Structure 1
Amino acid sequence: MVRAASIRGDSHNWEGTCRQDAMLVSRIGPPDAEMLLLAVADGVGSAAYSHVGSYQVPRAAAVHLDRDATSLFSALCAGDSAELGALANKAIAGAVAELRSNWEKSAARAHRDYSDADYATTLHVLLVPTDAAVRERVVFGVGDGGLFLHHAGQWLLGDTPETSADGILDTKTEALPHAYRSVRTRLIRTVPSDVLLVGTDGITNPLTQKDPEFARILSDAWCSGEIPSMSDFLWQAQTRAVSYDDDRTVICLWEETA
């Protein structure tokens, strides 16, 4: 079961500016390799057309991932992280190249200069086989935000910033289409009753920084064994977190038995 919501943050409401987050829930692949695709994107606040980037990047990525869905499914079932990473990088690079061409043409028609940075957005994609007997899942990520897993009564961080060879945490925000080195790939295995949460930093930052009250409220709402209605989920997704007023996009998946 899936619930999803994308909410304009208080700061954007106050300023009268548009929501820069976006999301996508879809299915990719043929019947024997079908996967649920859950994606969130967070446009970089200073980028003029980041709302366009956050809307279009997940959709273009889904098209390119669908082209390699059979290979992705096989690699996922085999637990082959290297192959999954290679396929993800190929798909995202293809999506970015296609979008860049379209954006350059749009800029030319509007008689304005084009810059990749104007469309900057993060992206996180979770792929889940629709065959409940397959317990492997994979998340692809560029930039902040990401995946959490609720297991055995607690939120576990499933997607973290990379560390350098000397152990220093890399906090530089990467973004598509230009400012990233590669797509991070994280392979996980779930059990029935787990809850997966993929979100932008409006929701993952309070969880990452361990706001106990915020984490408890979401745990009680979403991980008590009862799946909320769509209206309840939307209301719960707007739970206040002190000092966080950014857009908030969240998709939750409740794992089921085979």
Structure 2
Amino acid sequence: MSGPVYDGGIRGAQDDAGLFGRTRDTDNHDAGIRSLAHGAAPVNPVTSVPGTAVPTAPSAPLTPEDLASSTETGTGLLRGAPPHVGNRPPSYPPHPLGRPSVRDADESAAFSPAVLLDGALIGRLTVRAASVRGDSHNWEGSCRQDAMTVTRIGPPDAEMLLLAVADGVGSAVYSHVGAYQFSRLAAVFLDREAENIHAAVCARDENELRVLATKAVAGAAAELRSGWARTAQHKPRPYADQDYATTLHVLLIPTDPRIRDRVLCSVGDGGLFVLREGRWEHGDPDDGEGLLDTRTEALPHAYRSVKTTLLRTVPGEVLLLGTDGITNPLTQKDPEFARRLAEAWVGPEVPSLSDFLWQTQTRAKSYDDDRTVICVWEEQA
């Protein structure tokens, strides 16, 4: 796919010094957004000081150094276009364009937002989550096919934080429906097995975890397939499994800080990374490439069982659960993308929701798929 080359629009938007700096709202926020919509530089907020002449506009264009300096001093300039790695920006423009219509007869696509943002603080665990429509889907005007879920399952004595990401297969006409519904219904069925899963985590019984996870996901698949088949009876298109194809990854973290094991349940590509000492490592130490090699597996039908992985983490390490829109550029030969996100998320300070979204949108040429990422920080005792 190809599109017009976007030249950045906002001067200095890719400047390293201002890449992950925090900003605050100003009275000129609306004016800045209007200027951005027309590809102009953001409005420069000016504070009136008695006895000082206030110019109505900057006397010269802002340089990258101006933007970096103003971000550091908190003058509230808008960030502008998301930054990119590499010498050239991606071909697609970095903002949403068209979108599906209600009259396209697919309400799920028409009402799916281009961006989802979520977060939570549960005990010592802090979560930041974002799902962003990819540049190629923005250009085509199609909907975001990724989905995510952040919730808790189980009773108080066996409670777990559940994080899920799903990536609808691009060629499947209703994959956005499959991703959305699987990421939620899988949580419901896993909740029914929560006590048994918690016990298996404590016992480090990976075989039992695989059985329980496969049972839960199969239950969710059976219920969804039945519902989709009933819906198809009222439409000209017959039901087919492959129309709803999606990957799914679920991370379960016991909320009891004494339990150090986590369990990853996976079907398809994408997966888990751990940020340790400033470096990204695959969440499956025994099969580091396996999370990226199962490309032919997808729900509801094209899989044999749910792959389960037990891993042990310590406070200070950051867990990243993501679709291949984020895991693929993390593993590219050019390490700049991985380095930037590592520097942004290594902690100990957890980014705000808006900062996390901005960092998630860091762009890399040729990586234009939907991007869903959930990160977990754990506070030191």
Same fold, judged at TM 0.5 (above)? yes
Correspondence for 1:218: 341
One-letter code aligned to 1:65: L
Separation in 2, partners of 1:121, 1:25:
18
Shift of 1:210: 4.4
1:180 aligns with 2:311: no
- TM-score normalised over the length of structure 2: 0.65
- Residue pairs, 1:50-89, within 5 angstroms: 50-89=175-214
SS in structure 2 of the partner of residue 19 of structure 1? coil
Give the unaligned 5+ runs of structure 2: 1-125
Mark the CA change 1:64 to 1:108 in structure 2 (over 3 Å): closer, same or farther. same
2:371 to 230, 248, 254: 248
Q: One-letter code of the match for 2:378?
A: E
Q: How many residues align?
A: 253
Supply the distance in 2 between the matched residues of 1:39 and 1:59 (Cα, whole angstroms): 8
- Residue 186 of structure 2 aligns with an amino acid whose one-letter code is A
Q: Which has the higher contact order (CA 8 A, sep 6+)?
A: 1
**Match of 1:36, as an amino acid?**
L
Give the 3 Å change call, closer, same or farther, for CA 170–18 of structure 1 in structure 2. Answer: closer
Shift of residue 227, structure 1, vs aligned partner: 0.6
The alpha-carbon deviation at position 173 of structure 1 amounts to 2.3
**Residue equivalent to 1:196:** 319
1:93 is matched with 218
User: Could you tell me how far apart the structure 1 residues matched to 2:350 and 2:334 are?
Assistant: 23
Letter in 2 for 1:239: T
Instruction: Flag as ranges the 4+ runs of structure 1 deviating above 6 A.
Output: none
CA apart distance, 1:171: 5.0
Residue 76 of structure 1: how far off its partner (Å):
0.5
Distance across 2 between alignment mates of 1:221 and 1:162: 26
- Identify the match of residue 38 of structure 1 among 147, 163, 166: 163
CA shift, 1:105, in A, is 0.4
Is the Cα contact below 8 Å between 2:331 and 2:338 reproduced in 1? no
2:270 pairs with 142, 145, 149, which one?
145
Task: Choose between structure 1 and 2: higher helix proportion.
Answer: 1
CA distance in 2, matches of 1:245, 1:111: 32
Structure whose alpha-carbon radius of gyration is higher? 2
Q: Does the CA-based 8 Å contact 1:60-1:95 persist in structure 2?
A: yes
Please state whether the residue corresponding to 1:198 is helix, strand or coil: strand
**Percent identity of paired positions between Structure 1 and Structure 2:** 70
The answer (yes or no) to whether the contact 2:159–2:254 under 8 Å persists in 1 is yes
Correspondent of 1:132 among 250, 254, 257? 257
Tell me which amino acid in the other structure corresponds to 2:241: D
- Whether 2:231 is the aligned partner of 1:106: answer yes
Do 2:278 and 2:343's aligned partners in 1 also have CA atoms closer than 8 Å? no
Q: What's the CA shift for 1:225?
A: 1.8
Select between 9-18 and 220-229 the one with higher mean Cα deviation. 220-229
Alpha-carbon spacing, 1:172–1:24, altered in 2? closer, same or farther (3 Å): closer
Tell me, yes or no, if the aligned pair for 2:161 and 2:255 is still in contact at 8 Å.
yes
Distance 1:89 1:234, change over 3 A: same
Post-superposition offset of 1:257: 3.1
Deviations 1:128-158 (A, max 9, x none): 0111111100000000000000112210011
1:184-231 deviations in whole A, cap 9, x for unaligned? 111000001010000000000011234310011000111132110000
| Runs of 5+ consecutive residues of structure 1 not aligned to the other structure | 164-168
Question: For 1:252, what is the secondary structure of its paired residue?
Answer: strand
CA–CA separation in structure 2 for the residues paired with 1:60 and 1:218:
31
Sort the Cα spacing of 1:171 and 1:141 in 2 relative to 1 into closer, same or farther, 3 A: closer
- 1:20 is matched with 145
